[in-house]
């Protein structure tokens, strides 16, 4: 495919190519515009924004909105900034992602290498988790969390995301392991490795790409989730997304747009980082199943 498009590129004239790049550049600028607005306005004093210069570069550069958004902005009762909520999100995301990925890998392993009667039906049922809209489960989930005594806790949120995440992580790992040679598992059995040893020593070390895909997917979803955070976490236990909303939607006082912009970037930063660090594995992992055969 790449060769064909290169040929096409060589045949098109210089004028056409300039035109194509110009259009692409325009689109890129257009899509970068919101980021530009956010970045620029997060480093200028509020007066410059309210003065009407939203698109212009700051006359006075300041990092104060960032500091304020992070540590002193009024969100809950105390002027704590986003910092405690950021840690709320971290302590929710890390266990939820880790556990759902590991369980997904285990499920995929069992569903492909230790097959049993009805495994396909079970897998099909697990896939429902990928299609059920979040809103439907809010009330039953609240009842379950209440029964378990986890209402309003981070542990409760972890459980919710775990339950929702397993569907996807199982799907990823099952399809990845389906093309993983079963003879390897049999060889390991003859070598004397048990169920978990085979998993840890043979399958997991070969699951790099799909694990990255799964982690990115789960991290992005769970970090960005607002509905569950708003529904099942209360007050000081709220995750970053809910805190950002509270910061931006506050009805008292002056709207500090520069602080809001800084806060929004702070909230988006972790997912951005995950993509930058692991992004190149993402496509590779998504393609892995299709080219291995």
Round to whole Å and give the CA distance between 101 and 210: 10
Count of residues of this chain found to bind another protein when the rule CB under 8 A is applied: 16
187 lines the binding site for another protein (CB under 8 A): yes
Site for another protein in 54-113 (CB under 8 A): none
- Per-residue x/- mask for another protein, residues 194 to 233, rule CB under 8 A? ---x---xx--xx---------------------------
32 lines the binding site for another protein (CB under 8 A): no
The tokens for 274 are 């995950």
189 lines the binding site for another protein (CB under 8 A): yes
- Per-residue x/- mask for another protein, residues 145 to 184, rule CB under 8 A? ------------------------------------x-xx
Shortest Å distance, C-beta 170 to another protein: 22
191 lines the binding site for another protein (CB under 8 A): yes
Round to whole Å and give the CA distance between 130 and 167: 6
Shortest Å distance, C-beta 201 to another protein: 8
Is the Cβ of residue 189 or residue 245 nearer to another protein in the bound state? 189
Shortest Å distance, C-beta 203 to another protein: 9
Is the Cβ of residue 16 or residue 179 nearer to another protein in the bound state? 179
> Residues in the site for another protein, rule: CB under 8 A?
181, 183-184, 186-193, 197, 201-202, 205-206
């Amino acid at each position: 495919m790449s060769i064909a498009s290169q040929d096409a590129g060589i045949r098109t004239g210089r004028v056409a190519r300039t035109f194509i790049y110009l259009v692409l550049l325009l689109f890129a600028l257009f899509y970068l515009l919101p980021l530009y607005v956010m970045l620029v306005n997060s480093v200028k004093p509020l007066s410059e924004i309210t003065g009407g210069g939203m698109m212009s570069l700051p006359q006075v550069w300041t990092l104060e909105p960032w500091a304020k958004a992070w540590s002193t902005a009024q969100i809950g009762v105390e002027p704590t900034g986003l910092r405690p909520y950021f840690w709320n999100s971290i302590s929710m995301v890390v266990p939820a992602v880790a556990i759902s990925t590991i369980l997904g890998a285990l499920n995929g392993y069992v569903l492909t290498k230790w097959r049993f009667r009805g495994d396909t039906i079970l897998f099909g049922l697990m896939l429902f988790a990928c299609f059920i809209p979040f809103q439907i489960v809010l009330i039953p989930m609240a009842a379950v969390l209440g029964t378990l005594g986890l209402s309003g806790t981070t542990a409760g949120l972890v459980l919710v995301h775990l339950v929702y995440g397993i569907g996807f992580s199982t799907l990823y790992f099952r399809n990845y392991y389906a093309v993983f040679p079963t003879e390897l598992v049999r060889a390991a059995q003859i070598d004397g490795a048990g169920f978990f040893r085979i998993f840890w020593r043979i399958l997991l070390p070969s699951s790099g790409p799909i694990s990255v895909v799964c982690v990115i997917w789960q991290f992005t979803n769970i970090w960005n989730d607002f509905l569950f955070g708003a529904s099942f976490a209360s007050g000081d236990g709220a995750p970053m997304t809910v805190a950002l909303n509270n910061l931006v939607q506050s009805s008292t006082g002056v709207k500090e747009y520069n602080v809001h912009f800084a806060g929004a970037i702070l909230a988006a930063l972790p997912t951005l980082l995950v993509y930058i660090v692991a992004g190149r594995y993402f496509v590779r992992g998504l393609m892995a199943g299709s080219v291995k055969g």
